[in-house]
């Protein structure tokens, strides 16, 4: 994902923290500077979504972590499900929520957008079998007790913002279990590995986990452990905007806007995408294209290639390496883009 963030420069960050702390001693100044700061940094999409009543960090500035707040995230489209609003509301009331849905339905995208809209830094871990408690909590490096490095979760607990655990059900159970006290009313982490230091969850520390549904086709996924499942108050299901014969006009428009192809071409590309997604959902092909994949295809068409040629390098190759599956994909494409004899 490259919605522009990550990579905190430690020294710069620490000096900013000090500045903000000193401003915060004078309440009046804080109010003035925060409202100005909000106006200046507000995302241009802020008023497109009905989220104004949910302030996720009242009277608190994350300006010192500005490099970690996403910017220029494209708009998120849906067909009336109001995903952005539901996520922001879940964070406001419960501080955490879970996003579940097939690959490419925009889960990661929406986390970045929500962070940008709400002015929150993102701490992200792409979970997998190799994710260890070192990555999440921290570790000593070299000799001597002073050489402790906080893991991602510990840094988030201390500094606040959104902790995003992508593919959370790929993580080993014993690692995931370490998070349980953080996620319930205790709201803290006990670092057994560091003289049992207790790290309290930041007042504005929010957590979002996302995952593909547990099934054979998503290799590596496991049912989420019951303890973590129970601690997630809100579950939001994601799906493609256009599937089968159901074509979303908004998806067509977004494809046009983000690739510059004309209306007719955009509609046809979405039609192919929708049919492939339908076949993916019925288990006939191993992958259904995301809007991002369709945009890549359309971009090559806009560059002057025929739809069939552009599809070879994008949609066909992406769906599978298997020659038979690729042939199935070509057949779907040719129903909409017949090849000249």
Ligand X SMILES: Nc1ncnc2c1ncn2[C@@H]1O[C@H](COP(=O)(O)OP(=O)(O)OP(=O)(O)O)[C@@H](O)[C@H]1O
By CB under 5 A, name the binding residues for Mg ion: 108
CB 165 within 8 A of CB 127: yes
Find the shortest distance in angstroms from Cβ 266 to ligand X: 14
Find the shortest distance in angstroms from Cβ 237 to ligand X: 11
The yes or no reply on residue 105 touching ligand X (CB under 6 A) is yes
What the block records as the tokens of 188 is 């803290």
Nearer to ligand X, 156 or 240 (CB): 240
The phi, psi pair for 289, rounded to 5°, reads: -70, 140
Residues 159-198 vs ligand X: string with x where CB under 6 A? Answer: ----------------------------------------
Nearer to ligand X, 103 or 132 (CB): 103
Residue nearest to Mg ion (CB): 108
Residue 49 and residue 40: Cα distance in Å, rounded? 18
Residue 177 and residue 221: Cα distance in Å, rounded? 16
- Cα→Cα distances 224→16, 53, 280, Å: 38, 32, 23
What the block records as the tokens of 162 is 């959104």
Nearer to ligand X, 140 or 218 (CB): 218
Window 59-78: residues binding ligand X (CB under 6 A): 74, 76-78
Find the shortest distance in angstroms from Cβ 286 to Mg ion: 17
Number of residues that bind ligand X (CB under 6 A): 17
Following DSSP, what letter does each residue of 183-203 receive, concatenated?
Answer: HSTT-EEEEGGGTTEEEEPPT
- Measuring CA to CA, which residue among 337, 330, 328 is closest to residue 314? 330
Query: Three-class SS of residue 26?
Result: coil
Find the shortest distance in angstroms from Cβ 109 to ligand X: 3
Find the shortest distance in angstroms from Cβ 178 to Mg ion: 23
Residues 75-104 vs ligand X: string with x where CB under 6 A? Answer: -xxx----------------------x-xx
**Mutual orientation of helices 291-302 and 249-259 as an angle, nearest 10°?**
50
Q: Of 107, 159, 268, 277, which one interacts with ligand X (CB under 6 A)? A: 107
Window 216-275: residues binding ligand X (CB under 6 A): 241
């Amino acid at each position: 994902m490259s919605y522009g963030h990550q990579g905190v420069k430690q020294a710069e960050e620490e000096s900013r923290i000090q500045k903000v702390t000193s401003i915060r001693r004078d309440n009046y100044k804080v109010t003035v500077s925060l409202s100005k700061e909000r106006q200046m940094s507000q995302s241009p999409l802020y008023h497109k979504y009905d989220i104004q009543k949910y302030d996720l960090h009242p009277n608190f500035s994350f300006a010192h972590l500005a490099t970690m707040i996403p910017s220029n995230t494209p708009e998120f489209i849906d067909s009336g499900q109001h995903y952005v609003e539901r996520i922001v509301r879940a964070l406001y009331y419960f501080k955490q929520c879970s996003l579940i849905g097939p690959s490419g339905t925009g889960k990661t995208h929406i986390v970045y957008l929500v962070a940008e809209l709400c002015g929150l830094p993102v701490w992200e871990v792409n979970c997998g079998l190799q994710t260890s408690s070192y990555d999440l909590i921290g570790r000593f490096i070299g000799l001597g007790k002073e050489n402790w490095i906080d893991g991602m979760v510990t840094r988030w607990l201390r500094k606040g913002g959104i902790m995003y655990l992508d593919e959370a059900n790929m993580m080993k159970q014993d690692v995931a279990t370490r998070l349980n006290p953080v996620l319930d009313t205790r709201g803290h982490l006990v670092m057994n590995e560091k003289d049992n230091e207790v790290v309290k969850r930041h007042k504005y520390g929010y957590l979002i986990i996302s995952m593909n549904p547990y099934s054979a086709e998503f290799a590596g996924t496991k049912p989420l452990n019951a303890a973590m499942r129970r601690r997630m108050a809100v579950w939001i299901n994601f799906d493609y905007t256009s599937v089968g014969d159901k074509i979303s006009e908004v998806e067509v428009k977004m494809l046009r806007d983000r690739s510059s192809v004309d209306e007719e071409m955009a509609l046809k590309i979405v039609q192919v995408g929708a049919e492939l997604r339908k076949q993916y959902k019925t288990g006939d092909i191993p992958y259904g294209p995301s809007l991002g994949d369709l945009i890549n295809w359309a971009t090559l068409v806009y560059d002057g290639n025929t739809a069939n040629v552009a599809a070879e390098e994008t949609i066909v190759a992406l769906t599978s390496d298997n020659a038979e599956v690729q042939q199935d994909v070509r057949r779907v494409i040719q129903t909409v883009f017949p090849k000249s004899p």
